[in-house]
Amino acid sequence: MKIACLSFTHKGKEIGDKLKTLSEKGKYLFHHYSNDEIEGGIKSRLDYIWKEYNGLVFISSTGIAIRMINSYIKNKTMDPAIVVIDDCGRFSISLLSGHLGGANELSNWIAKAIDAMPVITTASDNRGIEAIDIFAKKNNYYMDNMKLVTKITGIMVNGKTLGFYSEDNKTINYPNIVTVKDLNNIPSEIEGLVIVSSENQQIENINIPYIYLRPRNINIGIGCRKGVEGKRIIESVKSAMKELNLSENSIQAIGTVEVKKDEEGIIEAAKYFNCPIKIFTIEEIKEVEDKFEKSQFVKDTIGVYSVSEPSAYLLGGKLIKEKSKYNGITISISKEIRNG
């Protein structure tokens, strides 16, 4: 994690230099910017620093930090971790992006490194419960609606009963939790609900706040003719997912054969769905192609009998959608089952 350490006084510079030295041994890589050593001061470099680093550590007053970052703040999913240390090194204050940005963890790390007191003000941490966004981040779940995170967290910090429905094998650390098996039969005492599922569940007559956390457990195998446009591949994936009532936010990876590794349409689709592409060799495909329907045309064209099904299979999980054709594009889907 790249951290910009920003100091404004001689004492602050000493702390910044120390953190830079310590970072070589830890998980954080610190770059130290001293205000006196920069023409125009740190403020003149802040545009670059904000974009370049995962976290900013101000060795200053909180007032200086707030005034400098105020115009850059967007939202908790985008903002870097912000920590403030007083220039005597007494306190390490998590100021912004405590959970998703990692400022709370960074603040604690710094406190141990320089023998300071960590100052963490997030309600969930001070109650010893696991926040929704931390739970999601830890398990690589996508949060469908960030606004609902605040509502669900409010239910938790106030000690109310939370319902928990999951297709995965992870459970959030919260004492007042009720496991829900049937989303159309929700216990009356529940005041909020967390749904961990790649499926768009059919929920009727629910009048409590609920949030979807999407496990990334859906793999997409893709085959296509040469030069197929990205938007067509994207729409084909969307159609295939919709047919299975699956969320696009659960897509973990796209797979295809090495012949298609430079296919712009597939590359564009991976960028759109924010997932990596796994390229399989002809040999890897051949090892499993006998399990699936064969096409002599595909064999004559690229050297294997099929692409989408073997690719989805090799990515992992159970094949839940066999090869489906979408006008020159083939899509297959596998799902990794972690519970059951």
Round the average pLDDT of the chain to a whole number and report it: 91
Q: Which residues contact residue 223 at a Cβ distance below 8 angstroms, ignoring those fewer than 6 apart?
A: 256, 257, 260, 298, 306, 307, 308, 311, 323, 329, 330
pLDDT tier at 25, thresholds 50, 70, 90: low
Q: Which two tokens stand for residue 299?
A: 């064999």
pLDDT tier at 24, thresholds 50, 70, 90: low
The tally of domains found in the chain comes to: 3
Asked whether residue 211 falls in the same domain as residue 181, the answer is yes
Q: Is the pLDDT of residue 163 over 50?
A: yes
Q: Which two tokens stand for residue 300?
A: 């004559």
Within-domain flag for 9: yes
Asked whether residue 211 falls in the same domain as residue 232, the answer is no
Q: Which amino acid is at 90?
A: R
Neighbours of 318 (CB within 10 A): 11
Asked whether residue 201 falls in the same domain as residue 239, the answer is no
Q: Which residues contact residue 304 at a Cβ distance below 8 angstroms, ignoring those fewer than 6 apart?
A: 257, 282, 285, 286, 289, 298, 310
Asked whether residue 225 falls in the same domain as residue 208, the answer is no
Q: Is the pLDDT of residue 185 over 80?
A: yes
Mean pLDDT of 161-180: 91
CA–CA separation, 292 and 302 (whole Å): 16
CA–CA separation, 47 and 203 (whole Å): 45
Asked whether residue 6 falls in the same domain as residue 115, the answer is yes
Within-domain flag for 127: no
The position carrying tokens 């710094």 is 110
Q: Which residues contact residue 265 at a Cβ distance below 8 angstroms, ignoring those fewer than 6 apart?
A: 224, 227, 228, 229, 230, 232, 233
Q: Is the pLDDT of residue 339 over 70?
A: no
Measured CA angle at 108 (ends 104, 112), to 5 deg: 170
Cross-strand bridge partners of residue 257: 280
Q: Kind of pairing, strands 329-335 and 318-325?
A: antiparallel
Asked whether residue 314 falls in the same domain as residue 329, the answer is yes
Q: pLDDT: is 333 or 77 the higher one?
A: 333
Q: Which two tokens stand for residue 23?
A: 């970072």
Asked whether residue 24 falls in the same domain as residue 104, the answer is yes
Asked whether residue 259 falls in the same domain as residue 285, the answer is yes
Within-domain flag for 260: yes
Asked whether residue 25 falls in the same domain as residue 42, the answer is yes
Within-domain flag for 172: yes
Q: Is the pLDDT of residue 227 over 80?
A: yes
The position carrying tokens 């100021």 is 95
pLDDT tier at 207, thresholds 50, 70, 90: confident
Within-domain flag for 307: yes
Domain boundary, last residue among 81, 100, 121: 121
CA–CA separation, 135 and 281 (whole Å): 36
Cross-strand bridge partners of residue 92: 85, 118
Within-domain flag for 340: no
Q: Is the pLDDT of residue 340 over 60?
A: no
The answer to which of 174-178, 291-295, 333-337 has the lowest mean pLDDT is: 291-295
CATH number of residue 229's parent domain: 3.30.420.180
CA–CA separation, 198 and 58 (whole Å): 40
Residue 297: the pLDDT is 83
Asked whether residue 67 falls in the same domain as residue 99, the answer is yes
Mean pLDDT of 187-201: 92
Residue 183 belongs to domain spanning: 132-215
Domain boundary, last residue among 183, 215, 247: 215
Please tell me the chain's helix, strand, coil percentages from 3-state DSSP, rounded to the nearest 5. Answer: 40, 25, 35
Q: Which two tokens stand for residue 111?
A: 């406190």
Mean pLDDT of 44-53: 94
Within-domain flag for 182: yes
Asked whether residue 79 falls in the same domain as residue 185, the answer is no
Residue 51: the pLDDT is 94
Asked whether residue 208 falls in the same domain as residue 230, the answer is no
Mean pLDDT of 110-135: 89
Within-domain flag for 225: yes
* 332 contacts 321 by C-beta, under 8 angstroms: yes
Mean pLDDT of 180-184: 88
What's the CA dihedral at 41, 47, 51, 56 to 10 degrees? 40
Residue 294: the pLDDT is 82
Domain boundary, last residue among 73, 102, 121: 121
CATH number of residue 108's parent domain: 3.40.50.11220
